[in-house]
Amino acid sequence: MTNTIEIKNLNYRKNYRSILEDVNLNIGAGKTVGLLGENGAGKTTLMRLIAGVAKGASGSISIDGKDDVSLKKSFVSFSEQLNGFSSSMRIDKIIRFYEDVYPDFSTEKYNQMAGFLQIDEGLRLSALSKGMKEKLVIGLTLSRDTKVYLLDEPFGGIDSMSRKKIIQSIIKWKNDDAIILVSDHYVSEIASILDEVVIIKDRTIYTQKSAEEIRSKYAEGIEQYYESVYEGNDIDD
Amino acid sequence: MKFDDKIPIYYQIKNYIYREIIVGKLAPGDKLPAVRQLAVDLTVNVNTVQRALSELISEKIIEPQRGKGNFVTEDKDTIEKLKKMLITEQLQDLYENLHKLNVSDEEIVNYLENYINERKQVQS
């Protein structure tokens, strides 16, 4: 198997507080995976560790068999990286920045996506609506040619039309063997595009299941299954 | 289309394509949209579409042509069988539901006949 994420015995503490404990997770090539959990469950932290932005965890995270941090960074495109830009920056400047910093950034792919998502490059970051900002984040993140894409809550507080466009562009522009890990705490909106769900609870991976298995085995929707996990109902395995 | 999240999506995609074929929106010999296009249109995962198509191929409802895509079968018997299967499914539901209401076989036939006559009168 190539293009996989393999996490072994991962433990992470911050300010003497345990954030993630004994995390073990394998994700196969080409999968679109929903990372689900309450606010504060550790979803963003896990993504930051996979991306190599957060450091100091024990255990190992390898991507495509490689554990080297600088190599890993080139394997991962992470939506959070847009947070570093000043709000007065114009979008075309941000695009130039991406072209300069990431050799794998495809301007052609970006332009296709920007056309589809109707992103106006002349605007400044501060002038963007929430939905438009998320579209830009998705466009920039997916325009890099990497093995892993991490999308941290891309649907927070945006209207249903923008959401639909974003979901369609994920389907449209995802490479066949790339992994997409998308975190969310509303499940129903992304349920139909997921291969698997990974639920984080009590600082660790509570379960990892195929989305179609949840439907066929429990006759439950992903949302329902997720809620039953958080409400502590027993689920027969 | 809207999916029921409690039912495997590949299964719902198969049913969707069955219906498109039976009502003639997809005619025998028609080319199906590309996998990714179908995924975008239906807002589902590419892998899920792939699974649905693989099953339709093994059922010989669609035929892959190397490098060209997937085509609806031109075999009339296969389509006729498919239609019969879908009709039987509906009849089975109706039959079982009415039996649960203690309606006998003869009564089912009578009720159905009356119902059809009433519908005809409403329409005319």
Sheet holding A76-78, edge to edge: A76-78, A148-152, A179-184, A32-36, A196-201, A204-210
B43 touching A (Cβ < 8 Å): yes
Give the CATH number for residue B40. 1.10.10.10
- Domain for residue B65, yes or no? yes
- Domain for residue A237, yes or no? no
Q: What count of other Cβ atoms lies within 10 Å of the Cβ of residue A80? A: 17
pLDDT of residue A3: 59
- Domain for residue A140, yes or no? yes
B39 touching A (Cβ < 8 Å): yes
Q: Is the pLDDT of residue A205 over 70?
A: yes
Q: Are residues B17 and B59 in the same domain?
A: yes
Secondary structure (DSSP) of chain B: -PPPTTS-HHHHHHHHHHHHHHTTSS-TTPBPPPHHHHHHHHT--HHHHHHHHHHHHHTTSEEEETTTEEEE---HHHHHHHHHHHHHHHHHHHHHHHHHTT--HHHHHHHHHHHHHHHHHHH-
Give the CATH number for residue A87. 3.40.50.300
Chain B nearest CA to A118, separation (Å): 17
Q: For residue A46, give both structure tokens.
A: 């896990």
Looking at the structure of chain B, the number of domains it has is 2
Q: For residue A129, give both structure tokens.
A: 């609506």
Interface with B, mutate which of A31, A215, A217 (most B CBs under 10 A): A215
The range of the structural domain enclosing residue A11 comes to 5-230
- Domain for residue A38, yes or no? yes
Q: Are residues B17 and B66 in the same domain?
A: yes
Number of Cα atoms under 13 Å in the Cβ half of residue A1:
15
CB contact under 8 A, A195 and B5: no
Cβ B1 vs Cβ B44: under 8 Å: no
Q: Are residues B21 and B34 in the same domain?
A: yes
Q: Are residues B69 and B86 in the same domain?
A: no
Count Cβ neighbours within 10 Å for each residue of A48-75 and write b for 16 or more, e otherwise.
Answer: bbbbbbbeebeeebbbbeeeeeeebbbb
Residue of A nearest to B34 (CA): A172
Secondary structure (DSSP) of chain A: --S-EEEEEEEEEETTEEEEEEEEEEE-TT-EEEEE--TTSSHHHHHHHHHTSS---EEEEEETTB--HHHHHHHEEEGGGGGGS-TT-BHHHHHHHHHHH-TTB-HHHHHHHHHHHT--TTSBGGG--HHHHHHHHHHHHHTB--SEEEEESTTTT--HHHHHHHHHHHHHH--TT-EEEEEES--TTTGGG-SEEEEEETTEEEEEEEHHHHHHHH---HHHHHHHHHTT-----
- Domain for residue B4, yes or no? no
Q: Are residues B82 and B66 in the same domain?
A: no
> With contacts defined as CB-CB under 8 Å, which chain A residues touch B45?
32, 171, 192-195
Mean pLDDT of B7-28: 96
Mean pLDDT of A112-140: 91
Q: Are residues B68 and B83 in the same domain?
A: no
Q: Are residues B89 and B111 in the same domain?
A: yes
- Domain for residue A62, yes or no? yes
Q: Are residues B19 and B65 in the same domain?
A: yes
Chain A nearest CA to B115, separation (Å): 34
Q: Are residues B13 and B46 in the same domain?
A: yes
CB contact under 8 A, A171 and B43: yes
- Domain for residue A235, yes or no? no
Contacts of B116 (CB under 8 A, 6+ apart): none
The range of the structural domain enclosing residue B112 comes to 77-123
Mean pLDDT of A96-114: 95
- Domain for residue B64, yes or no? yes
Nearest to A171 among B6, B40, B51 (CB): B40
- Domain for residue A236, yes or no? no
- Domain for residue A225, yes or no? yes
Q: Are residues B47 and B31 in the same domain?
A: yes
Q: Are residues B91 and B47 in the same domain?
A: no
- Domain for residue B107, yes or no? yes
pLDDT grade, residue B62 (50/70/90)? very high
Q: Give whichever of A122-126, A128-132, B97-101 has the largest mean pLDDT.
A: B97-101
pLDDT of residue B51: 96
CB contact under 8 A, A193 and B45: yes
- Domain for residue B1, yes or no? no
Cβ A198 vs Cβ A36: under 8 Å: yes
pLDDT of residue A2: 59
Q: Which of B53, B74, B95 is the last residue of a domain?
A: B74
Displacement of CA A155 from its chain's centroid (Å): 11
Nearest CA-CA partner of A155 in A119, A184, A181, A120 = A184
- Domain for residue A114, yes or no? yes
pLDDT grade, residue B77 (50/70/90)? very high
Q: Is the pLDDT of residue A231 over 60?
A: yes
CB contact under 8 A, A168 and B45: no
Q: Are residues B70 and B81 in the same domain?
A: no
Looking at the structure of chain A, the number of domains it has is 1
ipTM above 0.85, yes or no: no
CB contact under 8 A, A216 and B8: yes
Please give the share of chain A, as a percent, with pLDDT higher than 90: 62
